[in-house]
Amino acid sequence: MAFASTRTATFGISRSKRISVGTFTNASGDTGGDIVTGLKFVDTFVWSCSSHFGTEVIKVTKNSGTGGTVALVTSDNADGDWMAVGL
């Protein structure tokens, strides 16, 4: 199994802001992948790793030209939750 991300909800918080939330999982040997937030543009991205003690996200990159897609690089086999704020 490879990196997987699931968007569990998207809702509006004002006329110009929306929030998407979801989860991500990695199999053994996997260290991240792309998260499709469902937003047109991401202003803020927050994550939390829950798979095991000491797991951390190493890098988050907003992919230019791909709208609301965020690249997440994690330590091996990390699982967790994410939240994106944008339009």
Domain of 34, CATH number, reads: 2.60.40.3940
More confident site: 31 or 18 = 18
pLDDT digits (tens, 9 = 90+) for 21-60: 999 988 888 888 899 999 988 888 888 887 654 445 566 7
Find the domain containing 57 and state its range: 4-86
Position 51 scores a pLDDT of 61
Question: Using an 8 Å Cβ cutoff, are 86 and 22 in contact?
Answer: no
Q: What is the predicted pLDDT for the residue at 55? A: 46
56 against 6, higher pLDDT: 6
The per-residue pLDDT for range 58-86, each reduced to its tens digit, is: 667 666 556 788 888 887 778 889 999 99
Burial classification of residue 19, based on how many CB atoms lie within 10 Å of its CB (0-12 exposed, 13-18 middle, 19 or more buried): middle
How many structural domains compose the chain?
A: 1
